[in-house]
Structure 1
């Protein structure tokens, strides 16, 4: 997959979290800018490009901003990565990192992170109802680790306004995954605990994100990638 005008790109997923094991896939996430001229026609450019082997997802800048402003946990990682995990980092990408806190709103962060964690719990319950093969147990453990990470990272973002990508004590996440693989309902106390933490904590974030810095940044991106069309002089 070849995508031009990459603004930011880096390693995300289990490798970034510190939860990877031998044989884990390396996931990459990025953002690109479509040529501004291409946005003016009948058919707008594709907004996302996804590939496997290697696993890579790249979103167009406007789509990335919309997802981030909605509190999407996956895209949010891109502007909070440790420096060593960035593979492409441009001046415009640095500008976006500089306004990352303006993308955050308490309500959207809470709803997105707890919502994704609840989805993971439903997956655990559904997988626990079937035949318990070794492969099923691995999938349940993986979903359980994601559930705990989403709760932990989401609460930090909600309470303190920052996102730590690499988890503390990765081994505790693996132990939790094994416990839940044996009994999917073992994940419920953790989910309930974080629901209570969110409910009982006053967030440092405004209730809703401020779209103005993202709007201004995106307009700078459009100006940067605008090339005026040239026309042939009349004969």
Structure 2
């Protein structure tokens, strides 16, 4: 998969969280700018490119902004990575990192992170029968780790406006995964705990998203890549 005009790209997922183990996939996420000229035609360019071997997802700049403003936990990781996990950084990518604090809003972060955590809970419930096979147990443990991560990271972002990608105590997430693999319902108390934490916490984020900074950044991207032949200005 060849994608031009990549503005920002890095390693995300379990490697970034500190949860990777031998044999774990290395997930990459990034964003690119479609040549501005192509946005004016009858058929708009593809908004996302997804590949395997290596596992990589690239979103067009406008789509990435829409997802981030919607509180999407996966795309939000990209602008909060530790420096050593970035593989592509450009001046426009650094500008986006610079406005990352303007992207989240209280309602959308709460709904997105708790919503994704609840999805993980439903998945592990559906795959657990009290005596899971080895493969099923591994899947349940993985969903449990992600449930806990979504709760803790989402609440941090909601409460402080910051997002720490590298988990402070990865081993506690692994232990939690093993506990839930043995009994999927063991995840319910943690999910309820964080539902109550979100309800009690006064967020530092605005209740509704402010698109001003993202809109201004995206317009700078469009100007930068506007030439007659669709190449970089």
**TM-score above 0.5:** yes
Partner in structure 2 of residue 51 of structure 1 = 51
Partner in structure 1 of residue 197 of structure 2 = 197
Provide the C-alpha distance between the structure 2 equivalents of 1:97 and 1:137, rounded to a whole number of angstroms. Answer: 38
Displacement, 1:228? 2.7
SS of match in other structure, 2:87: strand
Displacement, 1:129? 3.8
Deviation sequence 1:66-120 (CA, Å, 0-9, x none): 0000000000000000000000000000101111111110000000000000000
User: Structure 1 residues 229, 176: closer, same or farther in 2, change over 3 A?
Assistant: closer
Larger radius of gyration: 1
Provide the C-alpha distance between the structure 1 equivalents of 2:217 and 2:59, rounded to a whole number of angstroms. Answer: 16
Runs of 5+ in structure 2 lacking a partner? none
Alignment of 1:37-186 (within 5 A): 37-129=37-129, 132-186=132-186
SS of match in other structure, 2:88: strand
Provide the C-alpha distance between the structure 1 equivalents of 2:178 and 2:195, rounded to a whole number of angstroms. Answer: 22
Provide the C-alpha distance between the structure 2 equivalents of 1:213 and 1:132, rounded to a whole number of angstroms. Answer: 48
User: Structure 1 residues 182, 229: closer, same or farther in 2, change over 3 A?
Assistant: closer
Provide the C-alpha distance between the structure 1 equivalents of 2:38 and 2:131, rounded to a whole number of angstroms. Answer: 50
Provide the C-alpha distance between the structure 2 equivalents of 1:50 and 1:131, rounded to a whole number of angstroms. Answer: 35
User: Structure 1 residues 176, 213: closer, same or farther in 2, change over 3 A?
Assistant: same
TM-score (norm 1): 0.96
> Aligned pairs, how many?
230
Partner in structure 2 of residue 12 of structure 1 = 12
SS of match in other structure, 1:84: helix
Runs of 5+ in structure 1 lacking a partner? 231-235
Provide the C-alpha distance between the structure 1 equivalents of 2:77 and 2:137, rounded to a whole number of angstroms. Answer: 27
- Give structure 1 regions of 4+ aligned residues with deviation exceeding 2 angstroms: none
Displacement, 1:229? 5.5
SS of match in other structure, 2:10: strand
TM-score (norm 2): 0.97
Q: Alignment RMSD, CA only?
A: 1.2
Partner in structure 1 of residue 35 of structure 2 = 35
